[in-house]
Amino acid sequence: MKVIVDRVRCEGHGLCEEAAPQMFQLDDEGELMVLQDAEPVPAEQIEAVADAARTCPVGALRVES
């Protein structure tokens, strides 16, 4: 599975960070950082990342298999 961050849509709401804290983090500027490989997403992160993509309120995260 891979995860794609749409940088134009991402507004920094940070809900992905709560769902997958080991994968996503907002830096001090509020810019989204991806902390681990996005492609492929590490096996133990797959569930959390799928959750984050579902929760992002503006549809800025897309997962593809």
Question: Is 14 a binder of ligand SF4 (CB under 6 A)?
Answer: yes
**What does DSSP say about strands 24-26 and 61-64: parallel, antiparallel, or unpaired?**
unpaired
Smallest gap from Cβ 12 to ligand SF4, in A, equals 5
Contacts with other proteins, residue ranges (CB under 8 A): 8-9, 11-15, 18-19, 29-31, 54-55, 57-59
Please choose which of other proteins, ligand SF4, none residue 16 contacts, taking the beta carbon within 5 to 8 angstroms, the exact cut-off set by kind.
Answer: ligand SF4
**Positive or negative: CA dihedral 37, 41, 46, 49:** positive
d(CA 46, CA 2): 9
